[in-house]
Amino acid sequence: MEKYSSTRRRFLKTAAAALAGTGSMFYISRCGPQKPLNILWLISEDTSPDIGCYGNPLVKTPNLDRLAAEGIRYTNVYATCPVCSPSRSAFMTGMYQTFTGAHQHRTRDKQPLPDPVKVITHYFRRAGYFTANVTEPAEGISGTGKTDWNFIPGEEPFDGTDWNQRTEGQPFFAQVNFQLTHREFQRDPENPIDPAGVELPPYYPDHPITRRDWANYLESLQVLDRQIGAVLKRLEDEGLLDNTAVFYFGDHGRCMVRGKQWLYDGGIRIPLFIRLPKKNRAGRVDDNMISMIDLGPTAMRLAGITPPEHLQGRPFLGGRIKSRKYIISARDRCDETDDRIRCVRTKQYKYIRNFFPERPYTQFNAYKTNQYPLISLLPVLHKQGKLTPVQERWLAPQRPGEELYDVSADPHEIDNLAEKPEHAKVLNKMRSILDDWIEKTGDMGEKEEPDDVKKYWDDFMAARYKDWMEAKGLTVNSTPEQHVKYWQKKLFKGE
C-alpha cells in the first residue's frame, strides 16, 4: 500500500503546483455577440440504456428520444462505480472515487477533498457562472436536490436551487436529480407495459414476479420521460433551450440483480444524450469509450473553461479530444456489505477481478434483500429445481478470482473465458491495465476501514432491516418463501 500512497502524494503535489499557476485559465469563450453557454445536467437514478431510442420497443420515451434525435446519443458510457454515492463523488469532481477516498458507499467519517481536487461547480463559479441544484425544475415536478457525496466539499457547491435566481445575463450550470427509476418503481397507469412482452436477460428466471418487477422498472422510465419533457418545455418557454447544452444521463445502472452494486454492464453502463444549441450534431451516435468522470471536463470545455490539468476525466467534446481505449470501474463497501471488485472494459472485452473470491455473489445486504424480489425468488426456485445452470451460478458459494468476457459476442457476460488458454493473451493484457491503474492512481480500496466503522454499518443496517421487515409484516428470520409471498401480494395487488 505504501507505494500507492507515495504515488498519490506525488500526484497531488504536482497537480497542486500546476493548479497554482492557472488563475487566468478559466474563462467564458465569446465569439462576437454570442452569449455564454448554459449547462444543464438531467440526472436519473439507477438507469441503464433501456430507453426507446436504445432499441427497447416496449418503452415509450418520446421526450428522451427527441433529446437524442436533436443531439448526440452515446452508446459506450460507464460509471466508475455501480452505486450512487461513490459514482456521484467521482463525476462531480472529475476524479476516481478510489483516488479521493470516496470509494466506500456512504462514508461514515467524511473527509475534505485532497488539494487541489474541487467539486466541478467551483470552476464554473470562477468563470462567472451561477450554479444551481434545482429542486423544482418545472411546475409540479420535483428534483430531489441529491448530492450524496462521500466527502466534505470545503465550500458551498451551489449558489441556489433554480437557474432563475441568477442575475440578468449570467450563464448557469445547473443539475436536476430525478429519483423515479430508483426503487420503489413508480408505475405508469397511462401506458402500462405487459410483463409478457418483457425481454429478460438469460440469468433471470422466467417467472411472473421477475417479469412484473422488470415491467415496473420500464414503466418508471416512462414517467421519468414525461418529467424530463416538462423541463425541456420550460427551457423552451423561457427562450433558453437554444443557448443551453443539455446533458441527460443515469448515475449508474439499473437497480436489479447483476445491476446496481455489481460491475457487470447492468450496473455500470448508462444512457447519455447531449443536446447542443441549434441542434448541432443532431442525430449523431457516438460509440467512443467514455467514463462518467469525463462529464465535468466536457461541460467545462463546452462552456469555454479550460479543465484543470489534475483532472483524471478528459473532455470528449468541444475541440481536440483523446479517445479512451478502456474504462475502469470499482466497487467497494456498499452499506454493511464489504467487498472489493475492479473491472476493465474495452469495446470488446470485460475483465473483472474479485479480491474476495471466497465470498458469494449473494453476500447479505439488507437494502437489496428488502428491495429486490429476485434475491428471495432465486433460492426458492433453486429448491424447486427450476433454475437453469446460468441462473444457478448466482447462488454459488464463491466467485472466480477473475472473470473475462467477450462482451461483443456475449453481451450478458455469461461465458467466463478467464481459464481458457486461447484467451490468455487478452487476460494478461487486461490484468496489466488494471495493475497499472491501481498503482498510478493510488487506489485506496486496498486500505481496510477500521473495525468500528464496520461495526457501525452492521448495527445500523441490522436495525433498518428489522424496521423494514416489520413494515412488511415479516421478521428478520422470515424465510425466502415468506418473502416471495409478500412480493406476490405487493406486485400483483389489484390485478
Per-domain residue ranges of the chain:
22-324
Fold classification of 22-324 (topology level) = Alkaline Phosphatase, subunit A (3.40.720)
Which pLDDT value is given to residue 2? 42
Among 81, 84, 255, 334, the one annotated catalytic? 84
Q: Distance between CA 152 and CA 365 in Å, rounded?
A: 26
**3-state helix/strand/coil string of 172-205:** EEEEEEECCCCCCCCCCCCCCCCHHHCCCCCCCC
Average pLDDT of the residues in 310-327: 93
20 DSSP 8-state letter: H
Give the distance, in angstroms, between the CA of residue 313 and the centroid of all CA atoms in the same chain.
15
Q: Distance between CA 390 and CA 455 in Å, rounded?
A: 35
Q: Give the burial class of 480: count Cβ atoms within 10 A of its Cβ; 0-12 exposed, 13-18 middle, 19 or more buried.
A: middle
Using DSSP's 3-state secondary structure scheme, residue 212 falls into helix
Query: 343-390: per-residue pLDDT in tens?
Result: 999 999 999 999 999 999 999 999 999 999 999 999 999 999 999 999
pLDDT category of residue 268 using cuts at 50, 70 and 90: very high
Which pLDDT value is given to residue 370? 97
One-letter identity of residue 221: L
pLDDT category of residue 27 using cuts at 50, 70 and 90: very low
Give the rounded percent of residues in the chain with a pLDDT score beyond 70: 93
Which pLDDT value is given to residue 1? 40
Give the distance, in angstroms, between the CA of residue 10 and the centroid of all CA atoms in the same chain.
29
Which pLDDT value is given to residue 13? 55
One-letter identity of residue 168: E
172-178/130-134 β-pairing: parallel
Average pLDDT of the residues in 55-77: 97
Q: Distance between CA 242 and CA 374 in Å, rounded?
A: 44
Give the distance, in angstroms, between the CA of residue 85 and the centroid of all CA atoms in the same chain.
9
Query: Taking 80 as the threshold, does the pLDDT of residue 6 lie above it?
Result: no
Query: 417-464: per-residue pLDDT in tens?
Result: 999 999 999 999 999 999 999 999 999 999 999 999 999 999 999 999
Q: Distance between CA 79 and CA 263 in Å, rounded?
A: 9
Average pLDDT of the residues in 232-237: 97
Q: Distance between CA 409 and CA 412 in Å, rounded?
A: 9
Give the rounded percent of residues in the chain with a pLDDT score beyond 90: 90
45 preceded by cis ω (within 30°)? Answer: no
pLDDT category of residue 218 using cuts at 50, 70 and 90: very high
Q: Distance between CA 230 and CA 243 in Å, rounded?
A: 18
| 81 has catalytic annotation | no
Q: Distance between CA 424 and CA 364 in Å, rounded?
A: 33
What value does the CA radius of gyration of the chain take, rounded to a whole number of Å? 22
pLDDT category of residue 32 using cuts at 50, 70 and 90: very low
290-291/172-178 β-pairing: unpaired
Q: What is the dihedral of CA 59, 65, 66, 69, to 10 degrees?
A: -150
Q: Distance between CA 104 and CA 353 in Å, rounded?
A: 17
Q: Distance between CA 49 and CA 229 in Å, rounded?
A: 18
pLDDT category of residue 282 using cuts at 50, 70 and 90: very high
